[in-house]
Structure 1
Amino acid sequence: MGLLTQLVRGLVRGADRVSPFTSKRGPRSHNKGRGAKKLGVLTRNKKFLLVKEMVPEFVVPDLTGFKLRPYVSYRAAEGSEPPMTAKQLFDELVAPRIEKDVKDGTFDPNNLEKYGFEPTQEGKLFQLFPKNYVR
């Protein structure tokens, strides 16, 4: 079907964009839901099995005696520090350790894992090296 045919069909039929898209407007298999996470699985017999690992667990620290309130007003001033860059992070955390090891004579360029360098990104959720670099 050509583009012109689709445009004419859209103009002739019109589109009802005012009414919300609910489950009654879609096919029988459409279930919009409410954005809740599933807490288990359905078996073949349509029985629901609760999986404890899928239930979210909120870990709340004990705030007794804590002076600050947990609410930050929207009228609060912006932070004064600029966001940290990779170079600043390296200069503050890794460079002093490398300089110390160079002065002590214990620096080994083949053992950079000691300073947080990861040669492979296997097992990482977001792999940054080398496949996903911006080309």
Structure 2
Amino acid sequence: MPLGLILGIGRAMRRKRTSSLDILSSKRAPRNYYKGKNCKPTGFHTRKGGYVVMDEKLPRYVVPDLSDFKLKPYVAQCPREATTTEAADPPK
């Protein structure tokens, strides 16, 4: 009897998965369930099976002007030898 009580408490304390994508899938849900991937819709479906993209729902990216920027956007995988300056000893 005490062994069954300990096993019951152990099963009750077991944690469930925290990821919401793993808990419910379309195979464990009703037949017409569509889960999706947390993406916002960019339009709507029509009655005849088409899809209308709404311009106000499309994402807009603001890119600054980088014409006078000193750094380059590319980082080489095999950089050449660079000269470094010795760091000063930290104060004691």
TM normalised by structure 2 equals 0.45
User: Normalised by the size of structure 1, how large is the TM-score?
Assistant: 0.33
> Which structure's residues are more often helix, by fraction?
1
Higher RCO structure, 1 or 2 (CA under 8 Å, sep 6+): 2
